[in-house]
Amino acid sequence: MSECFPHFYCDCCSNVIHRSCDQDLVWKSRTPELLEKIAATLPNCLCGGRFSPGNDPKCAHCKAPLKHKKDPVTRLHDPHMIAVDDACVFTDNEPYKVRIVD
């Protein structure tokens, strides 16, 4: 099982960020206050957009959002990060670009 929580998507593209400092904050609980604290420290995306709670990943082809059914506070413990083709994943280490091949 992945421990890739919390993670946050860009509001313009499908790039996603996962930081261990955020995980340390929400490991035992998830509250609106913790979400606000994390949201205040999320950076801008390289595309010019902004990483923030409640954003959804977007289709790699048409850029339509892939809607999540849960609220942003519940999503703090969602371990399933969706990384679509050509998205960049930002972590505490070097960022990497997703390439889906046949």
Domain coverage including residue 96: 1-102
pLDDT digits (tens, 9 = 90+) for 34-75: 999 999 999 999 999 999 999 999 887 888 998 988 999 999
The pTM of the full predicted model, rounded to 2 decimals, is: 0.92
Domains held by the chain: number: 1
Residue 100 CB coordination number (10 Å): 10
The CA dihedral of 18, 66, 77, 23, to the nearest 10 degrees, is 10
pLDDT of the residue at 102 = 78
pLDDT band at 2 (very low <50, low <70, confident <90, very high): low
